Amino acid sequence: MKKKLMAVMSMALVLACTACAETNTAGSVPVDNEEQVSAEQIIAELPQETSDEAAKAESSEGDNDTDSLVAEQTPSGYELVGEALSEEELTEISEKISSAEYNGFLTTAYETAEDIDWTRVLYCGADIGAINEASDEEVAAYLETAGTEEYGDILSIKRADLEAYVQKHTKTDYKSAKNPYKGTYVEAYDTYYVQRSEGYLYNYKCLEGAKDGPVYTVIVENTEYGSYDKRSEFCFEKEGDTLVVRSNRILWEEQAKSRFDVAFTQYVDSKCEIYCYENGYVLLVVDGNSKDHVFAEYDSKRMEVKDVASFDVNGDGYEDLVLIGSADNCDHVNIFKYDEKRVGLFPDEECDLEIDGKLGTSIDMDSVKALIET
């Protein structure tokens, strides 16, 4: 209520200052010169509970400063609960999460610490891994255990270091992880090994943030990677200089034109969403992370997606993705069949054209499904 009051009082001040002006400046509220409105009149019309808040605000200058800071630090419209973080605090957090120690926590989405995908978090080593420092004997043991040949850099992480890292940054036992690290474990060396291309650390900037009790929430932007996962909502607690991670939600909806809930047999017990963006770009998000993408097209032109469904088109036991979209002032069908071997969705243009030809201009999802099932 305090922030609402401040907004109204600010508006009242603008009105009082511009009531006699013949033309309002950009951002001000138009005022009838013949019927001027005073700040006292506006405040008098507020609900009683807001007036009570005004009295409390006037008795506490510190509260006013805090609310003003919150209002100034949330220009983007994010709903952040708590006391706004200062620019100094945001800069400090930005530097931390851009370091190797924390960088991986922003590359994946998770609702709780137990949901973290440790393969993605530890991809660059997180300051506990070593690149190409394993002995020849270790490498030979790893390659034999993994049943593979040497083809790239080898990242090695000691089991004890991994478990200590998880405990320090999440306050959870690594054994409770739902998505454990997928490195190859060699018992003789008590170490995980994985071959990978050179890792890359992203530069992150905290746009704004707030603290609610012990919980910090910051809106983070990847300043180097301009994709649809550019921003996320990162939550953590602080324990001295350590960030204890709680969750990270990628803001897929920021640039999306529409969103649909879908269900796929192949992703059982997972939350599946379809996000549609400009130029026919369609993204499948599973449990908050990007799983696959397709382009809604007809005759080489991008469609504006109007409806989305998932059902088994070819009877192989897996749900396929069906899109209905508009191009050239007509509705068309796009079908993307799930390929188990390639683990992804792939277009079936022949099927698209056949359905379009049979349904003509009367295309809706029920008619598409009925035609496929016959």
pLDDT in tens, 245-268: 999 999 999 999 999 999 999 998
Are 312 and 351 within one domain? yes
Are 121 and 171 within one domain? yes
Residues 173-180, mean pLDDT to the nearest whole number: 96
- In what helix (H) or strand (E) does residue 140 lie, and over which residues does it extend? helix 136-146
Q: Is residue 296 part of a domain?
A: yes
The residue among 293 and 9 whose pLDDT is bigger is: 293
- Tell me the C-alpha distance between 93 and 348, whole Å: 46
Domain of 66 in residue numbering reads as 2-72
Q: Give how far the C-alpha of residue 8 lies from the chain's centroid of Cα atoms, to the nearest Å.
A: 33
Residues 199-223, mean pLDDT to the nearest whole number: 95
276 neighbors 256 (Cβ within 8 angstroms)? yes
- DSSP 8-state assignment for residue 114: G
Tell me what pLDDT residue 76 has: 52
Q: Is residue 68 part of a domain?
A: yes
- Tell me the C-alpha distance between 201 and 103, whole Å: 6
Tell me what pLDDT residue 65 has: 37
Q: Is residue 329 part of a domain?
A: yes
Tell me what pLDDT residue 79 has: 83
Structure-block tokens of residue 262 = 């879908």
Beta partners for residue 325, in sequence order: 305, 332
Are 286 and 367 within one domain? yes
Q: Distances from the Cα of 245 to the Cαs of 103, 177, 310, 373, in angstroms?
A: 12, 14, 34, 47
Per-residue pLDDT band at 243 (split at 50, 70, 90): very high
Report the CATH number at residue 291.
2.40.128
Q: Phi first, then psi: what are they for 359, rounded to 5°?
A: -95, -20
Residue with tokens 């706004």: 84
Are 367 and 270 within one domain? yes
Tell me what pLDDT residue 298 has: 87
Are 148 and 170 within one domain? yes
Residues 227-244, mean pLDDT to the nearest whole number: 95
Q: Distances from the Cα of 263 to the Cαs of 73, 105, 108, 322, 335, in angstroms?
A: 38, 27, 21, 12, 15
| Backbone CA torsion sign across 139, 144, 145, 147 | positive
Q: Answer yes or no: is pLDDT of 143 > 60.
A: yes
Tell me what pLDDT residue 77 has: 62
Structure-block tokens of residue 261 = 């809930």
Residues contacting residue 284 through CB under 8 Å, at least 6 positions apart: 262, 272, 273, 274, 290, 291, 292, 293, 294, 321, 345
**Count of structural domains within the chain:** 4
Q: Is residue 87 part of a domain?
A: no
Q: Is residue 48 part of a domain?
A: yes
Q: How many CA atoms lie within 13 A of 263 on its CB side?
A: 4
Q: How many CA atoms lie within 13 A of 251 on its CB side?
A: 14
Q: Phi first, then psi: what are they for 253, rounded to 5°?
A: -75, -15
Q: Is residue 121 part of a domain?
A: yes
Q: Distances from the Cα of 138 to the Cαs of 145, 188, 190, in angstroms?
A: 10, 9, 10
Q: Answer yes or no: is pLDDT of 142 > 90.
A: yes
DSSP annotation string for 82-104: SEEPPHHHHHHHHHHHTSTTTGG
Are 340 and 310 within one domain? yes
Residues contacting residue 208 through CB under 8 Å, at least 6 positions apart: 73, 74, 75, 76, 78, 80, 84, 85, 90, 218, 219
Are 183 and 206 within one domain? no
Q: Answer yes or no: is pLDDT of 46 > 60.
A: no
Tell me what pLDDT residue 251 has: 96
